[in-house]
Amino acid sequence: MFNEARKLINTNAHIYIERLAEAVAIRSVSTDLSCRDDCFAMADLLHRWIEELGGSSDKVLVGFQELDDGSRYDLPPVILAEFSAGKPRQKPTVLVYGHYDVQPAAEADGWSTDPFTLSEVDGKLYGRGSTDDKGPILAWLWAIEIHRELELELPVNVKFCLEGMEESNSECLDDLLERESKGGFLSNVDYVVITDNYWVTTDKPCLTYGLRGLATFHCEVKAGTQTLHSGVYGGCIAEPMTDVIQLLAAVSEYGHGDIGIENCGRKSATPITEAETELYKGITFDAEAFRHEAGDVPALLGENEKEVLMNRWRYPSLSIHGIEGGYSGEGFKTVIPGAATGKFSIRLVPGQDGKAVEESVKAVLEKRFAELKSANKMTVTSTSSKAWLADPRCPLYQSGAAALLKVYGVKPDLTREGGSIPVAGLLQEKLGVETMLLPLGQSDDGAHSENEKMSKRNYLQGVQVLFTFLGEIARAHE
Amino acid sequence: MFNEARKLINTNAHIYIERLAEAVAIRSVSTDLSCRDDCFAMADLLHRWIEELGGSSDKVLVGFQELDDGSRYDLPPVILAEFSAGKPRQKPTVLVYGHYDVQPAAEADGWSTDPFTLSEVDGKLYGRGSTDDKGPILAWLWAIEIHRELELELPVNVKFCLEGMEESNSECLDDLLERESKGGFLSNVDYVVITDNYWVTTDKPCLTYGLRGLATFHCEVKAGTQTLHSGVYGGCIAEPMTDVIQLLAAVSEYGHGDIGIENCGRKSATPITEAETELYKGITFDAEAFRHEAGDVPALLGENEKEVLMNRWRYPSLSIHGIEGGYSGEGFKTVIPGAATGKFSIRLVPGQDGKAVEESVKAVLEKRFAELKSANKMTVTSTSSKAWLADPRCPLYQSGAAALLKVYGVKPDLTREGGSIPVAGLLQEKLGVETMLLPLGQSDDGAHSENEKMSKRNYLQGVQVLFTFLGEIARAHE
Ligand SMILES: [Zn+2]
Ligand SMILES: [Zn+2]
Ligand SMILES: [Zn+2]
Ligand SMILES: [Zn+2]
């Protein structure tokens, strides 16, 4: 049926694109409360499409946000949907996770086209959400539709968990997963597939088996309630900005390449095994291109491509993201902010314990702050989500690899990512089953940036990859 | 004539306020090019008023700004105006400096009233420029007008230098002063009075005889041209933000109370003499109120009120104003900026050499940057303007003090300021005559803040102070 599916996808291409345009046109920006109705509209559209394709869909309300002024906003629903295979209960169940909310976007940010009008230019489909994550979740629906059109029974049960708050820390998803995994909708899932990341390059597909976790830190130092002028107050008060600079310098003093804080550095990462080293061997990765994409930085940390990838995927790193408070615009303003907050994070890797990282960082901050003998008040808040690692030799990954090989004609690379997708670890942990990241988009898709796109090829081949994968995992499970 | 003037001021009060309203309504924001026409309109208004009062006025064009796109904007003119005393050449000449441009203001910044509509509330005249510096320059004009209305000859020649780029670094003023002081309009000036600062308290007038200078530093570290995601690049590149933090920490590491860089710290300030200590004795200053105005900071640096004032006025201080680059908003964004610029400044005091300060700071930055062994590129730019100090025992100050005593019934405090008004040092240096800062507004006027105001009392009494001062300086000069 592979070739029939291909033909059908070619025939239907313009319909798939029109539907993606319809989805992109809905401003489902979860971080922007003025777009909350659009988030609900987007859930309605998916709900309708799923039911039209013969699935059952439930829009589950998970809670609300309450603002300081007491006003409440319902959270966008999580869609829990199901398509049954020919003989339910005898076939395995694949759970697909995706999200229908998007990052904010405005033409003024530097978009070449209206971000909420899908625009095809040179084979690329530009628009907010095209690749993150509306395109991929739509590709799943059309992969199911093809079974109907070709009058095929689904080879596996397919469940969907599509949330509308992913770009806003997946608020309340945790509770829902906890509830539904204990005898609920998610209790009989055999495999989890997440389509919400990207290839490592622009031309070679991959499957992703590992992610770094993330510990975030807000370190606030407060003197008073007002922004002061350094001509009037300079020399008369202990300045919060100076304190924050010293604190950030203390956590980052080890310099480039490692973190000098107990429980945080390379020493606390799981040692590299031979099997792991083996996985890096065939990977297609052009460090020079990577350096160029990074805005032509003068150098990469790492002696060779394997080391660069390991720095990116399996070693911890500390980044200082910025300081809230003071003057951060162009030019010069002689202000003394009344408070300043340093924001930094540590990417966590297997072997590291988030709580231990949080405690160790706080200890360094507290020690340094005590040394400063400042009259000000320091407050540190932190969060952490741990790294995630799957076994890329299990049947799930083999099925994904087989599907990609059939569609693209190459064996996909088995890769990890330096970023965090907390839901991967969460699902694997709550459901206790193997989880796979199966990206459809390319490295240059620009999720979260201006001019986000999904290549038409990746969208359409993506439908075929997912169609093929369902057959492969059914066979592998037998 | 003191009482006649008082009566006249009371009679004219509403006219003075209407005219201030007319001036405040003109959005002469020099930093905002879209307001450039308003700056010219403001110059026209002053020009007209001066001529109506019998003065001669010249709107001198001083140059233009050129933008990156090649477009040019004329700089607002400097008004050089003159009112002659009864018998010119036999009477001394007082030069008044002021500026008619204002800081930006928008109701959205937190103004309780429209910033460009003068609004009287509880005896306070709210509006952008009310106290900085439109109110004070208008008070000078009405002080001259009173002489006409009372049919008095002016006791001294009064010249005005009113610029429209003060809030934008007085661009091109330097050249004009150089030109006009050498045989030009400013060549026969005997005294300089600047009305562009504020009392140290809300209720006691003062005369200001010293200002700190300012050295400013931009320290940029650049890696590449793009903002990166720490999930993708964290660990793979030397991050500019980390470098900048280490650099700022190095310049500020000495902590609160002094600067640990050669040529920059307290040791490089002129030692305190007994005569100077004497000047601090009668000064009305409430440190607790000052601490409260600073936004209730937990403590002031300084054991007593004299020490706090000295920290503020006669010792150097280093402030870090902020970092350009990275994420400085609320919440959290895991960005790695491609470049980051640390901005800080040092308030300079008599005894310190701006160039030496600039060089010493650069040396510390370069040394630390070399230690970091970063692949990035550091660029440091700096400026400096030196501190200014006058002799508060000279006739100019005695005349100012006599006028304030007559109007307010108290001997004014002789004070310094921690801020910089570069034109004070510039005028004193170019013209080689004594210069005095004669503030009309109060400590809580909020120049540069939202809800800037001038108290109606200060505005009207200000007219009388200036009227009286002209008689006093004429007598003192005899
Ligand atoms: Zn996503
Ligand atoms: Zn996203
Ligand atoms: Zn001013
Ligand atoms: Zn000003």
Query: Could you tell me which residue, B377 or A200, shows the higher pLDDT?
Result: B377
Q: Determine, for residues B338 and A418 on separate chains, whether the beta-carbon distance falls below 8 Å.
A: no
Q: What is the pLDDT of residues B177-190, one digit of tens each?
A: 999 999 899 999 99
Q: Quick one: average pLDDT of A222-244? A: 94
Q: Determine, for residues B377 and A298 on separate chains, whether the beta-carbon distance falls below 8 Å.
A: yes
Distance B167 CA to ligand 4 centre (A): 6
Task: Check CB contact of B169 with chain A, cutoff 8 Å.
Answer: no
Q: Which of A 353-412 lie inside 8 A of B, CB atoms?
A: 372-377
**Catalytic residue from among B38, B101, B167, B413:** B101
Q: Which residue of A has its CA nearest to B340?
A: A322
Percentage of chain A beyond pLDDT 70 is 99
Task: Check CB contact of A475 with chain B, cutoff 8 Å.
Answer: no
Helices vs. strands in chain A: H and E counts, helices first: 13, 20
Query: Distance from A313 to chain B by nearest Cα, in Å?
Result: 8
Distance A180 CA to ligand 1 centre (A): 22
How far is Cα B401 from Cα B208, in angstroms, rounded to an integer? 11
Closest by Cα among B454, B456, B452 to B115: B452
Residue A89: per-residue pLDDT? 61
Q: Which residue of A has its CA nearest to B334?
A: A321
Cβ-based neighbours of A5, under 8 Å, separated by 6 or more: A146, A150, A464, A467, A468
Which residues of A are identified as catalytic?
101, 166
Chain A hits for B418, Cβ within 8 Å: 230-236
Q: Quick one: average pLDDT of B248-255? A: 90
Nearest to B298 among A245, A248, A375 (CB): A375
> Domains in chain A, ordered, with CATH?
2-211+387-477 (3.40.630.10), 213-269+315-385 (3.30.70.360)
Q: Evaluate the omega torsion of the peptide bond into residue A133 and state whether it is cis, within 30 degrees of 0.
A: yes
Distance A380 CA to ligand 4 centre (A): 37
Distance B293 CA to ligand 4 centre (A): 19
Torsion angle of C-alpha atoms B61, B67, B71, B77, degrees rounded to 10: -10
Other Cβ atoms within 10 Å of B451 Cβ, number: 21
At A32, which amino acid appears?
Answer: D
Q: What is the pLDDT of residues B173-222, one digit of tens each?
A: 999 999 999 989 999 999 999 999 999 889 999 999 999 999 999 999 99
Distance B426 CA to ligand 1 centre (A): 58
Dihedral over Cα of A200, A201, A202, A204: its sign: negative
Residue A222: per-residue pLDDT? 97
Task: Check CB contact of B285 with chain A, cutoff 8 Å.
Answer: no
Q: Determine, for residues A231 and B345 on separate chains, whether the beta-carbon distance falls below 8 Å.
A: no
Q: Which of A 401-440 lie inside 8 A of B, CB atoms?
A: 417-420
Q: Quick one: average pLDDT of A316-325? A: 96
Q: Which residue of B has its CA nearest to A216?
A: B332
Query: Could you tell me which residue, B281 or B363, shows the higher pLDDT?
Result: B363
How far is Cα A420 from Cα A213, in angstroms, rounded to an integer? 5
Task: Check CB contact of B241 with chain A, cutoff 8 Å.
Answer: yes
Q: Determine, for residues B255 and A242 on separate chains, whether the beta-carbon distance falls below 8 Å.
A: yes
Residue B89: per-residue pLDDT? 61
Q: Where are the beta strands (DSSP E) in B40-149?
A: 56-60, 64-66, 72-74, 78-83, 93-99, 119-121, 124-126
Q: Determine, for residues A376 and B294 on separate chains, whether the beta-carbon distance falls below 8 Å.
A: no
How far is Cα B434 from Cα B429, in angstroms, rounded to an integer? 9
Q: Determine, for residues B299 and A338 on separate chains, whether the beta-carbon distance falls below 8 Å.
A: no
Task: Check CB contact of B224 with chain A, cutoff 8 Å.
Answer: yes
* Element at A428 (helix H, strand E): helix A422-431
**Catalytic residue from among B132, B133, B163, B166:** B166
Chain A hits for B447, Cβ within 8 Å: none
Confidence bin at B108 (pLDDT 50/70/90)? confident
* Element at B384 (helix H, strand E): strand B377-385
φ, ψ of residue B446 in degrees (nearest 5): 70, 40
Query: In the predicted model, is pLDDT for residue A74 greater than 80?
Result: yes
Nearest to A419 among B232, B308, B418 (CB): B232
Nearest to B236 among A218, A300, A327 (CB): A300
Q: Quick one: average pLDDT of B289-314? A: 94
**What average pLDDT does the structure give for chain A?**
95
Query: Distance from B84 to chain A by nearest Cα, in Å?
Result: 37
Q: What is the pLDDT of residues B414-461, one digit of tens each?
A: 999 999 898 999 999 899 999 999 999 999 999 988 899 999 999 999
Distance B452 CA to ligand 4 centre (A): 11
Query: In the predicted model, is pLDDT for residue B88 greater than 60?
Result: no
How far is Cα B347 from Cα B217, in angstroms, rounded to an integer? 12
Phi-psi sector, A9: left (phi>0), alpha (psi -120 to 50), beta? alpha
Which of the residues A67, A109, A245 would you substitute to probe the B interface, choosing the one with the greatest number of B C-beta atoms within 10 Å? A245
Ligand nearest B136 Cα, by number?
3
How far is Cα A449 from Cα A452, in angstroms, rounded to an integer? 6
Distance B448 CA to ligand 4 centre (A): 6
Ligand nearest B102 Cα, by number?
4
Query: In the predicted model, is pLDDT for residue A439 greater than 60?
Result: yes
Q: What is the pLDDT of residues A160-199, one digit of tens each?
A: 999 999 999 898 899 999 999 998 999 999 999 999 999 9
Query: Distance from A19 to chain B by nearest Cα, in Å?
Result: 30
Task: Check CB contact of A315 with chain B, cutoff 8 Å.
Answer: yes
DSSP string over A310-349: HHHHTS-EEEEEEEESS--SSS---EE-SEEEEEEEEEE-
Q: Which two tokens stand for residue B428?
A: 């004193």
Task: Check CB contact of B65 with chain A, cutoff 8 Å.
Answer: no
**What average pLDDT does the structure give for chain B?**
95
Distance A350 CA to ligand 2 centre (A): 23
Query: In the predicted model, is pLDDT for residue B404 greater than 60?
Result: yes
Residue B79: per-residue pLDDT? 98
Chain B hits for A347, Cβ within 8 Å: 230-231, 234-235
Percentage of chain A beyond pLDDT 90 is 86
How far is Cα A403 from Cα A2, in angstroms, rounded to an integer? 10
Reduced DSSP (H G I as helix, E B as strand, rest coil) percent helix, strand, coil of chain B, to 5: 40, 20, 40
Distance A129 CA to ligand 1 centre (A): 8
Chain B hits for A327, Cβ within 8 Å: 321-322, 343
Query: Distance from B110 to chain A by nearest Cα, in Å?
Result: 13
Q: What is the pLDDT of residues B389-403, one digit of tens each?
A: 999 999 999 999 999
Q: Determine, for residues B347 and A226 on separate chains, whether the beta-carbon distance falls below 8 Å.
A: no
Q: What is the pLDDT of residues A90-132, one digit of tens each?
A: 899 999 999 999 999 988 888 999 999 999 999 999 999 999 9
Query: Could you tell me which residue, A289 or B460, shows the higher pLDDT?
Result: B460
Burial classification of residue A228, based on how many CB atoms lie within 10 Å of its CB (0-12 exposed, 13-18 middle, 19 or more buried)? buried
Q: Where are the alpha helices (DSSP H) in B150-222?
A: 173-181
Q: Quick one: average pLDDT of A398-417? A: 97
Q: Quick one: average pLDDT of B17-27? A: 98
Q: Which two tokens stand for residue B214?
A: 């300012």
Chain A hits for B333, Cβ within 8 Å: 321-322
Nearest to B297 among A224, A311, A312 (CB): A224
